[in-house]
Amino acid sequence: MKKLLIIFILFSNKLIAQNLDKISFKDAVKMGLQNSVRLQQEKNNLVATQASKTSSLMQIGPSLNVQGNAGRNDGNSFNQQIGQVVNGVLDFVSASVNADMPLFNGFNNVLTYKQNDKLNEAQMYLVQHTEQTVIRNVSSQYLQCLLDQQLLLIQQKTLETQIKTYEQIKEQVAAGSRAEVDLYNQEFQVKNNEVLLLRAKNKLRNSKAILADQLQIDPTLDFELEEPNWDFNFNDTEATDVETLKTTALTNRKDLAQVQASARASELGYNATKGTFFPNISLFVTYGSRYNYIHPINGNALENRSFDNQFFEDNTQLTYGASFTIPIFSGLRTRSSVVRRKMDYENARLASKAGEVTVKSDVLTVYQNYVDAKSNYEATQAQLKSGELSYTLEKDRYELGASDIVALTLATQNLTRAQNEAANARYTLMFQQILLKAANGTLKVEDIP
Residue 36 is part of a domain; what is its CATH number?
Answer: 1.20.1600.10
Range of the domain at 365: 21-60+105-278+333-447
Domain co-membership, 200 together with 294: no
Provide the b/e sequence for 369-397 (b: ≥16 CB within 10 Å). bbeebbebbeebbebbeebeebbeebbee
Domain co-membership, 196 together with 289: no
Domain co-membership, 354 together with 395: yes
Q: Where in 191-327 does DSSP place strands (E)?
A: 224-225, 280-294, 317-325
Domain co-membership, 223 together with 316: no
Domain co-membership, 74 together with 204: no
Question: Does residue 11 belong to any structural domain of this protein?
Answer: no
Q: Minimal CA–CA distance to 18: which of 204, 222, 225?
A: 222
Q: How far is CA 414 from CA 147, 151, 390, 420, in A?
A: 19, 15, 9, 10
Domain co-membership, 190 together with 113: yes
First-to-final CA distance of the chain? 46
Domain co-membership, 154 together with 53: yes
Domain co-membership, 173 together with 71: no
Q: What is the distance, to the nearest Å, from the Cα of residue 153 to the centroid of all Cα atoms in its chain? A: 34
Q: How far is CA 166 from CA 11, 175, 402, 447, in A?
A: 47, 14, 18, 47
pLDDT tens digits, the chain, 449 residues: what are they?
444 444 443 444 444 444 457 888 889 999 999 999 999 999 999 999 999 999 999 888 899 999 999 998 888 777 666 677 777 888 889 999 999 998 888 888 899 999 999 999 999 999 999 999 999 899 889 888 988 888 898 889 889 988 988 888 888 888 887 788 888 888 998 999 899 999 999 999 999 999 999 999 888 888 888 888 766 554 554 556 788 888 888 888 999 999 999 999 999 999 988 888 888 899 999 999 988 888 887 767 667 788 888 888 888 899 999 988 888 887 788 888 889 989 999 999 999 999 999 999 989 998 888 888 888 888 988 988 988 898 888 888 877 777 777 888 888 888 888 888 888 888 888 888 888 888 888 888 887 77
Question: Does residue 15 belong to any structural domain of this protein?
Answer: no
Q: Minimal CA–CA distance to 24: which of 146, 136, 148, 118?
A: 146
Question: Does residue 1 belong to any structural domain of this protein?
Answer: no
Question: Does residue 16 belong to any structural domain of this protein?
Answer: no
Please tell me the distance from the alpha carbon of residue 306 to that of residue 81, in angstroms, as a whole number: 11
Question: Does residue 270 belong to any structural domain of this protein?
Answer: yes
Domain co-membership, 112 together with 258: yes
Domain count within the chain: 2
Domain co-membership, 259 together with 363: yes
Question: Does residue 14 belong to any structural domain of this protein?
Answer: no
Domain co-membership, 48 together with 71: no
